[in-house]
Amino acid sequence: MSDINKVVLAYSGGLDTSVIVRWLQDTYKCEVVTFTADIGQGEEVEPARAKAKALGVQEIYIDDLREEYVRDFVYPMFRANAIYEGEYLLGTSIARPLIAKRLIEIANETGADAISHGATGKGNDQVRFELGAYSLKPGIKVIAPWREWDLTSRETLMAYCAERNIPVDFAGKKKKSPYSMDANLLHISYEGGNLEDPFWEPEEDMWRWSVSPEAAPDTPTYIEIGYENGDPVTLNGEALSPATMLATLNKIGGDNGIGRLDLVENRYVGMKSRGCYETPGGTIMLRAHRAIESITLDREAAHLKDELMPRYAKLIYNGYWFSPERRMLQSAIDESQGFVNGVVRLKLYKGNVVVVGRKSDNSLFDEKIATFEDDAGAYNQKDAEGFIKLNALRLRIAANKGRSQL
């Protein structure tokens, strides 16, 4: 007899999670609560309600989390200029802690004993969901069907549906992509299929959010992003909410062929994985944020942020959003953003994001000192001699002791 009476399932309404609903009911003899999050995946989430009802689910949660997602997860991450392994903008990684948080909140609201998810035993998402859940509710039971059942392919899942009369209706949908895809307001990812050959070039019709750089307009698009405390708040002078800002930048960026990425990354579980990503708005935001920091951040603060960033990005990628070390780093990063205010002007052209201007009332750029013209005594060039000699002292001592590089 199972000790699980009620479980909250992260439910998309697709094949995998529809099978999981019935599998949980059959295997654990428990009540299933479904939770569907709208984080900007670009598809209607309301149909999940009818599908869940058809499977006998009584408690159904469908939540619009778009603003919370961008405001409380994407924006803090972009204050750090976070990139994993030099390329990946962490679009999937940063969505998982929010879903884990909401799963636990619903478990508390409904008195559930467990949560469940559809992540496989090969990927990073199982780690992200479960580390987040255990951080927020240490005693929660986690059920990961892909680590328990013997359903190992789409064919076996469909057979399971047929045997148990599970109403999985794909009629009327677009032609199914051969790739495993995950989308939210920050990005869309593609894995599997032909991409499992890392030498295979993805076909053009795989991409959903962007035109190819070759097909992008021949005339550049200029935009201006206004920043307050490190976050983008205006676009071309118009105040936008976080979710609207990102959605709008996605459209503008995608129209200009911006944000495509093809990479092989190192998963936390140990294997290498090839994936393709579209992150048009995030690509623009990263370039713009670094531009406004370039004139408002102190040199050593900026350099320290760059040193901390890979560690911060790795924490997010590996699922440690709720860890004390991530919160500690976030506090330092947020402290640095108090003067990161101003406007960045960008030129978008055929896949490129070019910074063409930046201004701020908090700028540390001093024209009187930096000028190549007469600075009227603002900077004494003779001071450089002592500065150089002091910094060369240890090198001169070493050379005098026979450690010359010649």
Our answer to whether residue 96 is catalytic in this structure is: yes
Alpha-carbon gap, residue 18 to 158, rounded angstroms: 10
Q: Which of 22, 38, 116, 125 is catalytic?
A: 125
Q: Which residues carry a binding-site annotation for L-aspartate?
A: 120, 124-125
Our answer to whether residue 169 is catalytic in this structure is: no
Inter-residue contact 345 to 358 (CB < 8 Å): yes
Our answer to whether residue 273 is catalytic in this structure is: no
Alpha-carbon gap, residue 326 to 329, rounded angstroms: 5
Q: Which residues carry a binding-site annotation for L-citrulline?
A: 88, 93, 124, 128, 180, 189, 265, 277
Residue whose structure tokens are 């102190």 = 298
Our answer to whether residue 298 is catalytic in this structure is: no
What lies within 8 Å, CB to CB, of 151 at 6+ separation is: 19, 23, 145, 157, 160
Alpha-carbon gap, residue 356 to 225, rounded angstroms: 12
Q: What DSSP state is assigned to residue 229? A: T
Q: Which residues carry a binding-site annotation for ATP?
A: 10-18, 37, 118
What lies within 8 Å, CB to CB, of 62 at 6+ separation is: 35, 36, 38, 45, 46, 48, 49
Q: What is the DSSP string of 109-160?
A: HHT-SEEE----TTSSHHHHHHHHHHHH-TT-EEE-GGGT----SHHHHHHH
Q: Which of 66, 96, 102, 274 is catalytic?
A: 96
Alpha-carbon gap, residue 100 to 200, rounded angstroms: 34
Alpha-carbon gap, residue 188 to 107, rounded angstroms: 28
Q: Which residues carry a binding-site annotation?
A: 10-18, 37, 88, 93, 118, 120, 124-125, 128, 180, 189, 265, 277
Active site residues: 16, 96, 125, 180
